[in-house]
Amino acid sequence: MKPSPSLLHIAQSSALLILLISYPTTAQIIPDNTVNTTVTPNGNINVIEGGTRAGNNLFHSFQEFSIPTGSEAFFNNAFDIRNIFSRVTGRSISNIDGLIRANGIANLFLLNPNGIIFGQNARLNIGGSFLATTANSFKFADGIEFSATNPQTAPLLSVNVPIGLQYGKNAAEIRVQGKGQDLGFATESFDSSLNPLEVLPGKTLTFVGGNVVVDGGILQAPGGRVEIGGITGEGTVGLNADGSLSFPEGVVLSDISITNKAGINVIASGGGSITITGRNLDISGESLLTAGIAAGKGSVDAVAGDISLNASEVINISSSRIENNVNPVDSKGIPSIGNSGDIIIQTGSLYLIDGVLLDSSTFGQGNAGNVKITATDTVSFDGGSRALSAVRKEAIGSAGGIEIITKSLFVTGDSLLATSTLGKGNAGNVKITATDTVSFDGGSRALSSVAEGAIGNGGSIEIITKSLTFTSNAQLVADTDGQGNAGSVKITATDTVSFDVRGAFSTVSEKAIGNGGSIEITAKSLSVTNGALLSSSTLGKGNAGSVKITASDSVSFDGVDSNGYYSGAFSTVETEAIGNGGDIDITTRSLSLTNGAELSATSEGNGAAGNINLKANSIRLSDEAYIIADTVKGQGNITMESQSLIMRRGSNITTNATGKATGGNITINTDVLAALENSDISANAEDSFGGRVIINAQGIFGTKFRPDTTPESDITATSKLGPQFSGTVQINTPEVDPNSGLVNLPENAVDVSRLVPKGCVARRKETGAFYITGNGGFQYRPGDGFVSPLPTGEVRSIPEGNTSNNSQLNERLIEAQGVYQLENGEMVLGWECPK
């Protein structure tokens, strides 16, 4: 992936700052004499006093403000001061690599338009919140400003808290450097050995600059807030009473980078939020953002805050984790109690690569949060990246949901979108809304599951889009392995849906107790190829779900995968399972099953098979395609409604029964039924009665009822117990001979010896007889209908005022009597020449 120009700009500007600060520096805390600030050195401590007081606010102003390694800046304020505002009016960057300390519970604000750098040894020891900014001024009510670029003393006696930060053009950078973290799993606050830049619990740590870079830096505000904002153009950033920032519409944002094992942590017994707002956001290099309920902390009323990432253009996250969890028990076995917050991402495009984890789960006693992603253009998960919301093992609570709203979603390279329950509680839902495309590829999955040993119901998976593709072993899975129902799968697409190789599954597993969910697809067209499956099955104690497909244009199933699995839709009660199969319902204009594809509603266990209901203008089975509703416990009916049903080359429609079950019923309502090349329709049974086959058709070609199967195309309802146990075959056709079959044309187009056969019936008043070779190699003779080779020409509206006479038909219509195979292998309906 090419880095965005904005991120390159961060790298370039950062390199410049590194050069600027690489020279030796000494303590430079110099007042500018505008607000009576005094600085008194005392060893490595610089004591800052004086300033201008306005109520509970204290104002300091400096020509320079830097703290070298091992030094300290001590704001020796009165203990009743609530806010300390400090500005830098000179032209130097603030380079802070020591300690900033203040008395009491005062909030400390540091403003330097030239830039601020926090080194690896920078620390805070203050009782309130801390804000660092490269704005030009603090804005107060009534238009009063405390400005670094216009440092003339202002009447500050009436000010209260600031309402905003005023920026000019090209705001300078803020950089936070650190040693980084190397934590496999963060369940509480970072250890002090990591030297975090930290405020006390419940307080806010804020950085608002031009570009903001956290390079290995550790930021921590347990149960409080960490706010990072980037702004580069003129405008005002609002300072809200809760410590959050607000960015007005139209303000030009800048870039933010969090990299090199950087860490941001707000884990506590409740509260704790992280908000980052900029133009482009890069989180990389094993960095970690974490919120939630700390191990062994919390209460029944505790609620963690959210992690919110906002970028007007692009967010790139690689090899990093974002977690908002109810964490596990602590070292003493005390559980965490409370609900975790959400992970919220809003951007133009989001790219997650190289094992990124977005995780909002519960390991303790409480509900997990949601993962919500909104992108106006693209969302991409790749390289094993995951979005999870789960009830973990031994946890008690409900999982949250995963919701993605975008134009296009790409999930590739074994990536995963999953909600699940492994403990006691329900899994959440996965919902994807994409106005253009959703694509899963390369073993990627969307999953909702109830794991083995869990107690709770699975959530649903819903996808709403224009087109949806699943390729290269990608799949949708809604299953239950525990005690609870599996979730459903629902797909709505205005254009195409395609599954290649794997498919969509709703499963009640072998040790599970619960019902399977349904699979429902609504689209213009559906394609299932190369062994892909739409499968709802039960192997445990519970009913399988249904499969329902509605496609305004076409549905096609084709082919087999490398393991011998055929494409199809399946509802299955497996051996040893206790439960009924679900139905398969397909409504479309054109339905085709080719090259071994199957529609199968079967039962091999202790339950009835489901039914198969098909409604299409055209239904075509070819090359050993199957429609099966076989059972050992009854049920298993097939109903088909169409204008044409064509079966070729060993295709079958069966409701066969084994054991003591009666064969299922097959009902076919069609205009034309053609079954060719050993294609059978059967409702047979082994040790009970055969089923019923009812066919209502205008024409039946190539097949007929037989008492048993043959190498020809057959219609059967037999029983191995004997003819007295045979089922019923009822064929209803309007004066059509069901025994009509193929006609093999003579090798010679004209047989001279039969030019005038005896008894040839000619048209009215005709006295002779002769053969001609017609279109497609068919023979015509007097009295036969004629196939015209003439085109219809252009169809036009009748000009206004024109009239036409009613014409009388003087040629009789001749009904088709057979299916004829042309020399090129094509099949056509026609009439049979007298033999």
Q: Band the pLDDT of 33: cuts 50, 70, 90.
A: confident
Q: Which of 273, 246, 276, 307 is nearest to 174 (CA)?
A: 276
Q: Given the structure tokens 């329950």, which residue do they identify?
A: 421
pLDDT in tens, 88-140: 999 999 999 999 999 999 999 999 999 999 999 999 999 999 999 999 999 98
Q: ∠ at Cα 414 (408, 418), nearest 5°?
A: 75
pLDDT above 80: residue 344:
yes
| Angstrom distance (rounded) from CA 125 to CA 196 | 11
Percent of the chain with pLDDT over 90: 71
Q: Which of 245, 249, 254, 247 is nearest to 279 (CA)?
A: 254
Q: ∠ at Cα 121 (118, 127), nearest 5°?
A: 80
What does the CA dihedral 178, 181, 182, 186 come to, rounded to 10 degrees? Answer: 180
Of 510-524, 705-719, 790-804, 820-834, the range with the lowest mean pLDDT is 790-804
Which amino acid is located at 51 in the chain? G
If one compares 661 and 810, the residue with the highest pLDDT of the two is 661
| Angstrom distance (rounded) from CA 721 to CA 181 | 76
| Angstrom distance (rounded) from CA 610 to CA 683 | 15
Q: ∠ at Cα 820 (819, 826), nearest 5°?
A: 105
* β 288-293/263-265 pair status: parallel
Q: Band the pLDDT of 27: cuts 50, 70, 90.
A: low
Q: What is the pLDDT of residue 812?
A: 54
Task: Output the six-digit token pair for 37.
Answer: 């600030």
pLDDT in tens, 804-813: 455 454 445 5
DSSP one-letter code for 56 = T
Q: Given the structure tokens 């908002």, which residue do they identify?
A: 324
| Angstrom distance (rounded) from CA 772 to CA 293 | 90
Q: Is 705 exposed, middle or buried (0-12, 13-18, 19+ CB in 10 A)?
A: middle
Q: Is 761 exposed, middle or buried (0-12, 13-18, 19+ CB in 10 A)?
A: exposed
DSSP one-letter code for 408 = E
| Angstrom distance (rounded) from CA 816 to CA 813 | 10
Strand boundaries in 267-342, DSSP class E: 273-283, 288-293, 298-303, 307-318, 321-326, 337-339
| Angstrom distance (rounded) from CA 255 to CA 258 | 10
What does the CA dihedral 292, 298, 301, 303 come to, rounded to 10 degrees? Answer: -10
| Angstrom distance (rounded) from CA 742 to CA 733 | 19
* Rounded CA Rg of the chain: 38
pLDDT above 50: residue 630:
yes
Q: What is the pLDDT of residue 722?
A: 84
What average pLDDT does the structure give for the chain? Answer: 87
Q: Contact at 8 Å (CB) between 233 and 278?
A: no
pLDDT in tens, 421-460: 999 999 999 999 999 999 999 999 999 999 999 999 999 9
Q: Contact at 8 Å (CB) between 269 and 222?
A: no
| Angstrom distance (rounded) from CA 778 to CA 450 | 63
Element holding 18 (H helix, E strand): helix 5-21
Look at the chain and count its residues: 835
Q: What is the pLDDT of residue 131?
A: 98
Q: What is the pLDDT of residue 767?
A: 45
Element holding 17 (H helix, E strand): helix 5-21
pLDDT above 50: residue 367:
yes
pLDDT in tens, 36-47: 999 999 999 999
What mean pLDDT do residues 704-720 have?
A: 91
Q: What is the pLDDT of residue 815?
A: 57
pTM of the shown model: 0.86
Q: Band the pLDDT of 782: cuts 50, 70, 90.
A: very low
Q: Band the pLDDT of 817: cuts 50, 70, 90.
A: low
If one compares 673 and 160, the residue with the highest pLDDT of the two is 673
Q: What is the pLDDT of residue 371?
A: 98
| Angstrom distance (rounded) from CA 391 to CA 456 | 10
Of 22-31, 457-466, 597-606, 734-743, the range with the lowest mean pLDDT is 734-743
| Angstrom distance (rounded) from CA 399 to CA 639 | 40
* Percent of residues in the chain assigned helix, strand, coil, to nearest 5: 5, 50, 50
Q: Contact at 8 Å (CB) between 659 and 685?
A: no
- What is the DSSP code string of 710-740? -SS-EEE--BTT-GGG--EEEEE-SS--TT-
Q: Contact at 8 Å (CB) between 513 and 540?
A: yes
Which amino acid is located at 740 in the chain? S
Q: Contact at 8 Å (CB) between 611 and 581?
A: no
Q: Contact at 8 Å (CB) between 506 and 476?
A: no
pLDDT in tens, 238-255: 999 888 999 988 899 999
pLDDT above 60: residue 563:
yes
Q: Contact at 8 Å (CB) between 481 and 452?
A: yes
* β 137-139/145-147 pair status: antiparallel
pLDDT above 90: residue 162:
no
Which amino acid is located at 658 in the chain? T
Q: What is the pLDDT of residue 772?
A: 43
If one compares 761 and 465, the residue with the highest pLDDT of the two is 465
Percent of the chain with pLDDT over 70: 83
Q: Band the pLDDT of 1: cuts 50, 70, 90.
A: very low
